[in-house]
Amino acid sequence: MPTPLAAALLPLPASPALHFPRPRPGPSWRARPAVVRAAALRALPRRLELCPPCLAAVESNPAPPPLAPPPPDEASAGSGLDARAGGGGGGGDGGGGADLGWLRAFPHVFTASMANFLFGYHIGVMNGPIEDIATQLGFQGNPFLQGLVVSIFIVGAFFGSLGSSALVDKFGCKRTLQIDSIPLIIGALLSSISISYITICCILSYHIFFLKGKLCYSAQADSLDEMLLGRFLVGIGIGVNTVLVPIYISEVAPTKYRGTLGTLCQIGTCLGIIAALSLGIPSESDPHWWRTMLYAACVPGILIVAGMQFAVESPRWLAKVGRFDDARKVVESLWEPSEVEKSMEEIKAVVLNDDSRGSCIKSLFSNIYAVALIGGSLFFLQQFAGINGVLYFSSLTFRDVGISSGALASLYVGITNFGGALVASNLMDKQGRKKLLIGSYLGMVCAMETFMLCLIYYILFFLQAFAMFLIVYGISFPLDEGVAHSLSIAGTLLYVLSLSILSSKPLRGLGWYIFTFAIGAGPVTGIIIPELSSARTRSKVMGFSFTVHWICNFLVGLFFLELVHKFGVGAVYAGFGGVSLLTALFAYNFIVETKGRSLEEIEMSMSSATPGKQE
């Protein structure tokens, strides 16, 4: 038997190499499999020389179960287009990869949003060639008729929004979009062929010399009439579309993608403006190019008619008219399989509990009068925050700050607006509607006040002089070292700030104003109103809200230049900033967050409390 010393010197038998299974993803020790933890504990006796009873006590302690992934609804609600597949948690074995559930509804939403592309196109199509149109139609030098050609579009949109709810309730969103494309196509054709009518009549008047003057006069008058009639018909179509498309998107898009897909309205409008401005570049060298531009407006209208034939109808409208089987088919084709039954139960509950009798006015202002008031107020404040005054007269504003090219200024506005809309599409289902709306208007306040300060140069020069005084006072006079150092730093920062504002001129402030508008104030207003409305009154509330929108739009366009001439650009833009601040306060107190909630959940909660009191 070896002595204790010899036994201590004997080499220990080699232990088998430990094999650790590959752990599942997750940084937490508790979240790793029990096999990994047990294998690690078995290695402790040899390293720490634990006694067998201690090891038995350690191994007998049951390992805690791994953390369960969060529920799919909570993990993925409001994730937008950047969510992850596998239930939205990322802890499952099959997780990973982009969530492409939004692609199911995207073709239908994209087809409908082409109507907003036409809206933006008709806003920008008259920006460049209006002088050529006036020359060829015989009203050059007449600012009233030039303004009438542009503004009659808004008058038509006003009447279109008034009658939109009746069309939507009777025919549904899909058929109404197809029917509404007819005045868009006819109006564009009438506006574009007026030059051909002039040419034909001038040729006839050349051969019939004794009626030459009379025929030329009547040709010019009839051509102007055709232009006005065409613009009016286009306005009617746009008025219906601006009401209809947000309703269609809100009712077709799945809940967790509704905000992201809803921003396609704003994106489509921005792309339409950019397309019109880009297509109008040849008009600077070709005085007849405006005819081609108006002809081109027929193409999206034809695509809408053809594309909506393959699009789905709103499942809420199908259920409202009693076609529950068709509504289920639409929900199954657009929603996740796990959400179909819940969505259908909510839709049926809302439809069956809805008393469809009663007048339109009574249903609009009964228990949800606050929604109509909020919708009208949001559009009222949006318009008087000055966005359309900036867009309509961007060329004049940029000319005042040193940019003479109207096309370049308008293109800058369109691209900035488009960039903000892209940012909004990424944030809408992440940050929520209310946060974006408040943040957007606060950003517009800062932008407008910056723009105003840029125009009031003497204030900035005073700030520069005061900054220099602080620097000299801190350096020259016998003060405490800490006080002198603070004064010098404050003066330097103030001088750099005033110098940067002066060097940028108002351009950056105006660009920031448009960008912040496109992030929240533009898209959120059109998204949140149909979300807050009930299924029965959604079209009526949207029609009422957009009627207010077009009235205020017309008033801003009519009086903007007069106010600028009377009070100056700085004072007018300061007023826009004040309205933006008021709108931010209004949104904070009266707007309900709708992110991640189905339309039926919102409707049931709205029926029991006023919007301003809900969380």
d(CA 323, CA 54): 70
pLDDT of the residue at 453: 60
For the stretch 230-243, pLDDT in tens is 999 999 999 999 99
In a 13 Å sphere around the CA of 285, the CA atoms on its Cβ side amount to 3
- Is 90 exceeded by the pLDDT of residue 28? no
Extended beta strands in 190-344, E state: none
Q: Looking at per-residue confidence, does 534 or 174 come out higher?
A: 174
pLDDT of the residue at 346: 83
| 598 in Cβ contact with 255 (< 8 Å) | yes
Q: How confident is the model at residue 204 (pLDDT cuts 50, 70, 90)?
A: very low
**Rounded to a whole number, what is the distance in angstroms from the first to the last CA of the chain?**
83
Query: Of 67-71, 123-127, 180-184, 279-283, which gets the smallest average pLDDT?
Result: 67-71
Q: How confident is the model at residue 182 (pLDDT cuts 50, 70, 90)?
A: very high
Q: How confident is the model at residue 302 (pLDDT cuts 50, 70, 90)?
A: very high
Q: For 519, which DSSP code?
A: I
Q: Which domains are assigned to the chain?
A: 100-311 (1.20.1250.20)
Query: Of 15-24, 159-168, 224-233, 447-456, which gets the smallest average pLDDT?
Result: 15-24
Q: Looking at per-residue confidence, does 478 or 567 come out higher?
A: 567
pLDDT of the residue at 608: 60
pLDDT of the residue at 157: 92
pLDDT of the residue at 335: 85
Q: Which tokens belong to 449? A: 């006040």
Q: Looking at per-residue confidence, does 76 or 426 come out higher?
A: 426
Q: Looking at per-residue confidence, does 349 or 466 come out higher?
A: 349
pLDDT of the residue at 50: 44
Q: Looking at per-residue confidence, does 411 or 538 come out higher?
A: 538
For the stretch 272-290, pLDDT in tens is 988 988 888 787 788 888 8
pLDDT of the residue at 469: 65
- Other CB atoms within a 10 A radius of the CB of residue 223 amount to 23
Query: Of 105-114, 388-397, 516-525, which gets the smallest average pLDDT?
Result: 388-397
For the stretch 534-589, pLDDT in tens is 878 888 889 899 999 999 988 887 788 778 778 877 778 888 888 999 999 999 99
d(CA 136, CA 288): 9
Mean pLDDT of 123-141: 80
pTM: 0.69
Q: How confident is the model at residue 186 (pLDDT cuts 50, 70, 90)?
A: very high
Long-range interactions of 583-589: CB distance < 8 A, separation 24+: 583/378, 583/381, 583/382, 583/385, 583/441, 583/521, 584/437, 584/438, 584/441, 584/442, 584/445, 586/377, 586/378, 586/381, 587/378, 587/434, 587/437, 587/438, 587/441, 588/434, 588/438
Q: How confident is the model at residue 305 (pLDDT cuts 50, 70, 90)?
A: very high
Mean pLDDT of 463-486: 64
pLDDT of the residue at 446: 81
Percent share of the chain, pLDDT over 90: 17
For the stretch 430-460, pLDDT in tens is 888 898 899 889 888 887 776 666 555 555 5
Q: For 97, which DSSP code?
A: S
pLDDT of the residue at 495: 60
Query: Of 25-34, 163-172, 305-314, which gets the smallest average pLDDT?
Result: 25-34
pLDDT of the residue at 127: 73
pLDDT of the residue at 176: 92
The angle, 0 to 180 degrees and rounded to 10, between the axes of the packed helices 164-207 and 212-252 is 160
- Is 80 exceeded by the pLDDT of residue 74? no
For the stretch 58-69, pLDDT in tens is 445 554 555 454
Averaged pLDDT of the chain: 74
- Is 80 exceeded by the pLDDT of residue 412? no
Q: Looking at per-residue confidence, does 380 or 407 come out higher?
A: 380
- Is 60 exceeded by the pLDDT of residue 363? no
Q: Which tokens belong to 145? A: 């008729």
